Amino acid sequence: MNESSIKRVVIVGGGTAGWMTAALLSKAMGPQLQIHLVESDEIGIVGVGEATIPQIRHVNQFLDIDEDEMLRATQGTFKLGIQFNDWRRVGDSYLHAFSDIGMPLGLLAFQHYWLRDVHGRTSAAGAGSAEAASRQREDAPDLWAYSLNAQACRANRFARMEKVGSSPLTGIRHAYHLDAGLYGQFLRRRCDPRIVQRTEGKVVDVALRAEDGFIESIRLESGETIAGDLFIDCSGFRGLLIEGALHSGYENWQQWLPCDRAMAVPSTRVEPMRPYTQASARPAGWQWRIPLQHRSGNGHVYCSEYMSDDEAASLLLANLEGEPIAEPRLFPFTTGMRRQFWNKNCVALGLSSGFLEPLESTSIHLIQSGISRLLALFPDCHFDPALRLEYNRQTRFEYEHIRNFLILHYRASERRDTPFWQHCARIEMPQDLERKLALFRSSGQIFRDGEELFTEVGWLQVMLGQGIEPLRHHPLAESISSDQLDEFLANVRTLIGRAVDTMPEHTRFVAEHCKANAPG
């Protein structure tokens, strides 16, 4: 280690963000770092990020975490996707499932063969025409008949399955539902105490260096001063360091995502314990339902311009499946992001970096990706501005592309039954989103933008689920005969059906592999 190496990292704030940062940094950097985490038991954590996406499994692998051990410790269950109810119209439902859909044939993505089936087996001359698209086959199986995760969700089943037998079909791709508070505690126990020191206390002052405005130290209510080379702000919405001390600025995105309140409440567990999250549209927002082993997590995200807090709480409580086991908690928020995620010698992670409503369960992932990006661009004490600029560029790209994916859910809705949904119909889409939708409508084509989080399969499911129908399929889908197309599609459905039949019920799988002790 040379003299300019970062030696002291100070993390302000605990919870999932703070302890995931401490665990990953200490594992990656080892004893060359001394990490000091400051948190206060008197300051509550938001703790509503209880649903995850499959990328969280990379954290487990890197930290050598046994999946079943983690799920027992966090009262966790498995997640295969998100069910969206009443988003296109009241009564409609679709899944954003994590698995692949079908499999490619030759050079062409699967959806084009499925679209050819839906469009009614046109001749090559009429392939993909608007006229062909108007002749929809009412009896054609829907897209989710070709998704292993979706079919497992419909049957409330789960199994770990990398491949479907000896076929080319990929298997189950899963994430987790977990108690966010317990997850933070679990990660805390994974930290090497020789590297990570925890201090209980509240930060009351931040000292900046006179010559460059960098953070020099923090002072606690007890009077203790903690100095560092690199500071990580995991202080939540307050942004104690990134905003309170460094005034990094905040970009408000409510013109695209108008909800500004969340109400959360736990309820008693009910059966079946579904292997998916539910997101149900409501008159002025939407409600989540997350099944854990010891309870269900519930929340109502809404726009205060169209619904009062009392109305939101009443609606949430009226739509619980079990009995409430606490009073609803209110979380005001402003959707958006910091203008600088990394400013001087401070990096913001978690809620201090920005907030995107948990419609697609991205909260914990944004912590994970932020830490990964920091490790890739880890500075020395010179803090080369090029590293900071690249970190901020990549993080902005990720936030903006997740934002666009969330906007799609609201903007593509056909609902006009309340003032809120009428407002959503008037949202002006970002150009990148408008371009992606126009391409899909005209040709059924989807292209992933660089390293954006959501894949072509994710975009496909949400666009079709929201009623965006392509006029055409790719002409190459006409290269096989109708009989060959029938055989190909039928074989995929058969393989998926057989695979699902071998899976146990989700509740049974959890009980046999990762059953948690009852809360004390």
Catalytic residue numbers read 79
* Beta bridge partners of residue 333, listed in sequence order: none
Answer for the pair 452, 400: CB distance below 8 angstroms, yes or no. Answer: no
Nearest to 114 by CA among 444, 399, 406: 444
- Give the β-pairing of 346-348 and 354-355: unpaired
3-class state of residue 93 by DSSP: strand
Torsion of CA 462, 466, 470, 473, to 10 degrees: 40
Answer for the pair 516, 294: CB distance below 8 angstroms, yes or no. Answer: yes
- Give the β-pairing of 285-291 and 277-282: antiparallel
Where residue 236 falls (left for φ over 0; alpha for ψ -120 to 50; beta otherwise) is: left
CA within 13 Å, CB half, 225: 8
- CA distance readout (Å), 420 to 88, 261, 304, 315: 14, 14, 10, 15
Calculate Rg over the CA atoms of the chain. Answer: 24
- CA distance readout (Å), 165 to 104, 154, 161, 485, 502: 17, 21, 9, 22, 11
Q: How far apart (Å, rounded) are the C-alpha atoms in residues 104 and 215?
A: 52
Q: Which residues contact 86 (CB under 8 A, 6 or more apart)?
A: 92, 93, 280, 281, 282, 415
What is the per-residue DSSP string for 483-510? HHHHHHHHHHHHHHHHHHHTSPBHHHHH
For 338, the token pair is: 């910091």
Answer for the pair 335, 260: CB distance below 8 angstroms, yes or no. Answer: yes
3-class state of residue 442 by DSSP: helix
Question: What's at 80, amino acid-wise?
Answer: L
SS3 content of the chain, % helix, strand, coil (to 5): 35, 20, 45
Cis peptide before 275 (omega within 30 of 0): no
- Number of other CB atoms surrounding residue 273 within 10 Å: 22
Q: Which residues contact 505 (CB under 8 A, 6 or more apart)?
A: 156, 157, 158, 272
For 291, the token pair is: 């099944």
